[in-house]
Structure 1
């Protein structure tokens, strides 16, 4: 299932979301220019290295958030950020949203490291931080509808409640993480999502808290 857009438009331009998309695209182009293998080796997050030298290797947590393994990896992350991020930024405000996004990425990377502490494979991508945004959306807009493209023999669209869509998405991350499906940092996705659900209220202006 792929979200096409949400039926809950933000009231103000999502300047931070747009800036993050531009920054991720620029980082991807720079990555291609400098050589993806070299850039990922120097700036991807490696759990085993982090636990050996947290202070010396900690910078990789932040740099890895802006690297991607290919065009589809980049586009899928930016699309989820674009669809769900504007409303969350609208509720939080730009500065709070940016801090929330970055801390969500940190929480996601640490979650992956805790579940796979001996891994020497560099972890890259914005998906952990974006997952935190999805967790925030799950709390803030569970009854908003998401137009979703579904494949079942032939593609068709459905309007699904965000609470159902995102809950199902989180469940899939858990199942695939438990099954040990290789190639994707499912624990980072789930860690980011849990951070988003747990922390979203702390980042809201007082008028939106409950």
Structure 2
């Protein structure tokens, strides 16, 4: 289950979202050529990824920033950019370009530190924009809890698009990350669940001053929990299995 779009385009061009997406994609392409060379890619991640034990010893705090622009593969990159594209534009519109950029970086740094605290002795390199994007999702939940988000559910041959409120989709996502945080071993590698959970919490908290300046609950009453722009008309086709149109019969039957 993953989101494919929301129903509220931003009121102005999200230049920072575009900039962040371009930076992540271009940086990934810059080391794409060494992805199949275990020695080179491990050395690259050793130099620029978060390694909690190293930070715990007081070294390479800069990797808290550099790791935010690195990804372990194409699907890792594509998933993160999809989430940033869907949830980032409205938040940038509400905050302004420069405040949104600072918010994004602060969320990523906070997520990285929480990951370090969760596994201070780990020597597993950690990369990805997920923590910063989780912060964007936390801010989106606070500001626009009832915005409509289309999600694609895929179960083997069954797939269907649903339109649900953001608080449902983001609440389920956060619950899954939190359960993963409790059940996973950070020292074993894999998904950095605490970075996701922590980044979400950091983004939510950092957005509280903006939400309060807008009026708090009164802001929700004015906007009905949606971004303050007209919804885009989206037609959803509910499909259980793929359908193909049968062409005219050939001479073989």
**Which protein is richer in helix relative to its size?**
1
Match of 2:170 in 1: 166
Structure possessing the higher radius of gyration over alpha carbons: 2
Give the secondary-structure state (helix, strand or coil) at the position aligned to 1:82.
helix
The equivalent position to 2:41 in structure 1, one of 31, 36, 47, is 36
Match of 1:201 in 2: 208
Distance 1:148 1:139, change over 3 A: same
Alpha-carbon distance in 1 for matches of 2:50, 2:208? 28
Give the drift of 1:32.
2.1
Distance 1:194 1:205, change over 3 A: closer
Give the secondary-structure state (helix, strand or coil) at the position aligned to 1:57.
coil
Give the secondary-structure state (helix, strand or coil) at the position aligned to 2:92.
helix
Contact 2:142 2:211 in 1 (8 A): no
Give the drift of 1:202.
3.1
Which TM-score applies when normalising by structure 2? Answer: 0.78
Are 2:83 and 1:80 equivalent residues in the alignment?
A: yes
Match of 1:65 in 2: 68
Match of 1:97 in 2: 100
Match of 1:18 in 2: 18
Alpha-carbon distance in 2 for matches of 1:117, 1:83? 33
After superposition, give the CA deviation of every residue in 1:49-98 in whole Å (9 maximum; x if it has no partner): 00101xx3100000000000000000000110001000000000010000
- The runs of at least 4 aligned residues of structure 1 exceeding 6 Å deviation read none
After superposition, give the CA deviation of every residue in 1:159-180 in whole Å (9 maximum; x if it has no partner): 0100110011000001011111
- Gap regions ≥5 residues in structure 1: none
Which TM-score applies when normalising by structure 1? Answer: 0.94
Match of 2:193 in 1: 186
Alpha-carbon distance in 1 for matches of 2:153, 2:32? 32
Alpha-carbon distance in 1 for matches of 2:19, 2:92? 12
Are 2:45 and 1:47 equivalent residues in the alignment?
A: no
Alpha-carbon distance in 2 for matches of 1:103, 1:12? 23
